């Protein structure tokens, strides 16, 4: 196929060109990805697409050499030095900073020279435990400049969670942390340096700590191990040579959220991840020329890391970093930021949308959002009511919603709606496969599903460049690749595709309920319950049932105004709400799908990235409350005690 067509951005603007490129990429994925490598700047351009390695994973561009920092910073600083690379916004709307590509390069080099002066090199693995501030961007890119592997840890994590990840990343390498003295989030001060002091005791080996003193709070200081970043870096040069790194060099380690158990350290390579995040971000999020992208996810999660950090900067667009939460200091803060900085593409998590939707009038007050062109959702599928609120209220019925599906292990998003090429469908679907991303469905007999509207297990048929190359605490082959289905990558999700080739996720494979021999998707039940005006959030799980084999258990959070009243209303009122929910499910889907048990709870346990910890609710539903496994990723640990109290009071 003509290389000019494969390389042209018309593939995302013209339906006929799209179809031609798409068909070619499905027939020969490796050829497609090789045709895209010139979008990056290589020290040595690759001639080979892939190489299988012993752990079951695939290395992309194994003979290529590339530096991620040069691609995200230097090449833009050379051509468009005064263009804004990063907009940093604090919780105070009047406190923000515009950082040009020229300044970004200077500060990244200053940070890299600081790390070099401390003796750090390519044999080290650094832990970056920082909030969403410019220095966090500098730190990540400084590591890539020097070829140092790093682990980005969410700033809201507890010392125990940080220690778990540091020990997992191999103690002999992970003995250096970059952090801040303290962080303000939601009006609360988080003592991050003090947390690292606790981590030292937990890991039981010396940790050197580079501290960005930005709040000026009193902190304990050990001159043997603690280093003041501003003091040591103030006279550092703003030029720094780049490491000559292989495309297969370990770029960073990110940990899974832990929604399925113990967090796993996912290892990403440089060349493959960079190309995958760059290209999927460019097309799915419209990262062209003067667009301003805001991915509200923290850089401790793949959504924020792949797109807010790497994809946006690699594409040379402006990326927004907000040091705050969606509902503080006002419920409208997100939309105020969008108006202030004229953001064109906004991407957030479903949990943030649902949180703001509870205060619909207040959250929209005084804002226009007229600069927006695209709205994105990353993490989970948005329920119907929230989807319509997002589209109608936030996007004012003019901004397409890109409801993506991805995983930490995939390094980004392999499928999303084609907002530029076709009429947008309603909530729920995750679109078509991206170029060169071959997804396939298998039935219970391991046969490939070819009929639309037929549910099956979702697999990836051919390796994609952004996929993990290793995992820190297990075997990639054993954890992720099917031992019975042609060694395909097992996504762990159930899905179907429609007549237009759009995929629809129906739930996790291990979430599918088997009630009296019927396979029932909990997501379908959740969607129906969430339609009720009294319901804010819901999670449906299975539990052992003496007759049905598996029963249906629904944990329901009522909307704030209803929940407040329930604190003083009689139990009969609660009972009436439960009857309303039961009848609605029965009438809308089937008597088979009505929950056997409904418990009204004040909150649902979630990870720091906003995913509901279904495994905890399964434990509670089944009566097994002695061991909830790993709890380091839970953002609201008090929710467990509150839920147990509600369950036991029934």
pLDDT at 12 over 70: yes
Q: Is 500 helix (H, G, I), strand (E, B) or coil?
A: coil
> Which run of H or of E encompasses 83?
none
Task: Please give the Cα distance from 335 to 331 (Å, whole number).
Answer: 9
Closest C-alpha among 51, 66, 176 to residue 123: 176
Residues near 392 by beta carbon (within 8 Å), at least 6 away in sequence? none
Share of the chain above pLDDT 90, in %: 58
Task: Please give the Cα distance from 538 to 603 (Å, whole number).
Answer: 9
Decide: 417 and 402 in contact? Cβ < 8 Å.
Answer: yes
pLDDT at 517 over 70: no
Highest mean pLDDT: which range of 335-339, 392-396, 516-520, 590-594: 335-339
Give tens-digit pLDDT for 382-392. Answer: 777 888 899 99
Task: Please give the Cα distance from 254 to 466 (Å, whole number).
Answer: 13
- Position 161 confidence tier, pLDDT thresholds 50, 70, 90: confident
Between 525 and 465, the higher pLDDT residue: 465
- Position 421 confidence tier, pLDDT thresholds 50, 70, 90: low
Helix axes 614-622, 638-648, angle to 10 degrees: 30
Rounded mean pLDDT, 364-368: 91
Rounded mean pLDDT, 188-217: 93
Q: Domain coordinates of the chain in residue numbers?
A: 70-430, 512-648
Distances (CA, A) of 617 to 68, 261, 614: 41, 13, 5
Rounded mean pLDDT, 544-571: 75
Give tens-digit pLDDT for 277-293. Answer: 999 999 999 899 899 99
Q: Is 429 helix (H, G, I), strand (E, B) or coil?
A: strand
Question: How many helices and strands, by DSSP H and E, does the chain display?
Answer: 23, 31
Cis before 141? omega within 30: no
Task: Please give the Cα distance from 30 to 49 (Å, whole number).
Answer: 6
Task: Please give the Cα distance from 628 to 91 (Å, whole number).
Answer: 34
Give tens-digit pLDDT for 244-289. Answer: 999 999 999 998 865 555 678 999 999 999 999 999 999 999 899 8
CATH label, 512-648, candidates 3.30.70.260, 3.30.450.260, 3.90.79.10, 3.30.300.30: 3.30.300.30
Q: Which CATH superfamily is domain 70-430 in?
A: ANL, N-terminal domain (3.40.50.12780)
pLDDT at 455 over 80: yes
pLDDT value at residue 257: 60
Strand partners, 415: 405, 433
pLDDT value at residue 227: 98
Q: Is the dihedral of CA 58, 61, 67, 70 positive or negative?
A: negative
Task: Please give the Cα distance from 601 to 574 (Å, whole number).
Answer: 11
Q: Is the dihedral of CA 83, 310, 434, 512 positive or negative?
A: negative
Decide: 479 and 471 in contact? Cβ < 8 Å.
Answer: yes
Distances (CA, A) of 180 to 131, 188, 548, 557, 564: 8, 15, 53, 36, 38
Residues near 140 by beta carbon (within 8 Å), at least 6 away in sequence? 128, 150, 152, 252, 299, 309
Residues near 189 by beta carbon (within 8 Å), at least 6 away in sequence? 182, 183, 215, 217
Strands of 125-129's sheet in order across = 226-228, 208-212, 176-180, 125-129, 149-153, 250-255, 265-269, 470-471
Closest C-alpha among 266, 613, 260, 509 to residue 410: 266
pLDDT value at residue 54: 78
Give tens-digit pLDDT for 435-453. Answer: 999 999 998 778 899 999 9
Q: How many CB atoms lie within 10 A of CB 98?
A: 12
Decide: 379 and 610 in contact? Cβ < 8 Å.
Answer: yes
Decide: 145 and 270 in contact? Cβ < 8 Å.
Answer: no
pLDDT value at residue 443: 84
Cis before 329? omega within 30: yes
Q: In 364-442, which ranges are E strands? A: 374-377, 401-403, 405-407, 412-416, 429-433, 439-442
8-state DSSP, 381: P
Give tens-digit pLDDT for 91-120. Answer: 999 999 999 999 999 999 999 999 999 999
Task: Please give the Cα distance from 294 to 133 (Å, whole number).
Answer: 14
């Amino acid at each position: 196929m003509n290389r000019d067509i494969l390389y042209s951005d018309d593939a995302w603007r013209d339906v006929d060109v799209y179809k031609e490129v798409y068909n070619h990429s499905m027939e020969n994925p490796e050829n497609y990805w090789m045709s895209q490598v010139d979008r990056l700047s290589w020290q040595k351009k690759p001639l080979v697409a892939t190489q299988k390695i012993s752990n079951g994973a695939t290395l992309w561009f194994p003979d290529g050499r590339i530096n991620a920092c040069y691609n995200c910073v230097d090449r833009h600083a050379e051509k468009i030095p005064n263009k804004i690379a990063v907009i940093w916004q604090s919780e105070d709307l009047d406190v923000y900073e515009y950082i040009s590509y020229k300044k970004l390069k200077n500060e990244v080099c200053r940070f890299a020279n600081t790390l070099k002066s401390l003796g750090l090199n390519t044999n080290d693995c650094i832990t970056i435990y920082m909030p969403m501030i410019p220095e966090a961007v500098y730190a990540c890119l400084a590591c890539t400049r020097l070829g140092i592997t790093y682990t980005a840890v969410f700033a809201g994590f507890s010392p125990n969670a940080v220690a778990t990840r540091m020990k997992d990343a191999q103690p002999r390498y992970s003995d250096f942390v970059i952090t801040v003295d303290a962080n303000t989030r939601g009006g609360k001060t988080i003592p991050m340096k003090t947390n690292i002091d606790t981590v030292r005791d937990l890991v039981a080996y010396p940790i050197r700590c580079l501290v960005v003193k930005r709040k000026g709070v009193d902190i304990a200081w050990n001159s043997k191990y603690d280093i003041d970043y501003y003091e040591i870096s103030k006279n550092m040069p703003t030029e720094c040579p780049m490491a000559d790194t292989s495309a297969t060099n370990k770029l960073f380690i990110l940990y899974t959220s832990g929604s399925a158990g113990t967090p796993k350290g996912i290892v990403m390579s440089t060349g493959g991840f960079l190309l995958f995040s760059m290209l999927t971000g460019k097309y799915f999020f419209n990262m062209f020329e003067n667009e301003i992208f805001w991915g509200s996810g923290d850089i401790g999660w793949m959504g924020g890391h792949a797109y807010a950090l790497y994809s946006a900067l690699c594409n040379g667009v402006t990326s927004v970093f907000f040091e705050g939460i969606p509902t503080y200091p006002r419920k409208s803060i997100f939309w105020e930021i969008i108006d202030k900085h004229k953001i064109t593409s906004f991407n957030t998590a479903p949990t943030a949308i649902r949180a703001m939707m509870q205060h619909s009038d207040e959250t929209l007050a005084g804002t226009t959002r007229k600069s927006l062109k695209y709205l994105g959702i990353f993490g989970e599928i948005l329920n119907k009511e929230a989807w319509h609120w997002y589209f109608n209220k936030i996007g004012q019925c003019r901004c397409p919603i890109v409801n993506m599906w991805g995983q930490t292990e995939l390094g980004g998003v392999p499928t999303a709606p084609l907002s530029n090429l076709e009429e947008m469908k309603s909530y729920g679907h995750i679109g078509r496969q991206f170029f060169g991303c071959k997804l396939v469905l298998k039935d219970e007999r391991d046969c490939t599903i070819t009929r639309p509207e037929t549910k099956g297990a979702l697999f990836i048929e051919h390796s994609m460049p952004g996929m993990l190359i290793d995992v820190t605490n297990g075997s990639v082959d054993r954890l992720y690749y099917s031992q019975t289905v042609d060694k395909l990558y097992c996504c762990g999700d159930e899905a179907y595709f429609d007549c237009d080739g759009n995929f629809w996720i129906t739930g996790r494979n291990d979430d599918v309920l088997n009630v009296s021999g019927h396979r029932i998707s909990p997501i379908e039940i959740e969607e129906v319950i969430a339609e009720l005006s009294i319901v804010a959030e819901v999670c449906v799980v299975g539990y052992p049932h003496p007759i049905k084999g598996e029963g249906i258990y629904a944990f329901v959070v009522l909307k704030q105004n209803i929940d407040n009243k329930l604190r003083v209303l009689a139990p009969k009122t609660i009972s009436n709400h439960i009857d309303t929910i039961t009848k609605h499910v029965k009438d809308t889907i089937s008597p088979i799908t009505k929950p056997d048990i409904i418990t009204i709870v004040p909150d649902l346990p979630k990870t720091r990235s906003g995913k509901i910890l279904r495994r905890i609710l399964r434990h509670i539903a089944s009566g097994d409350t002695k061991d909830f496994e790993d709890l380091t990723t839970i953002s609201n640990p008090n929710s467990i005690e509150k839920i147990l109290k509600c369950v036991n009071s029934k």
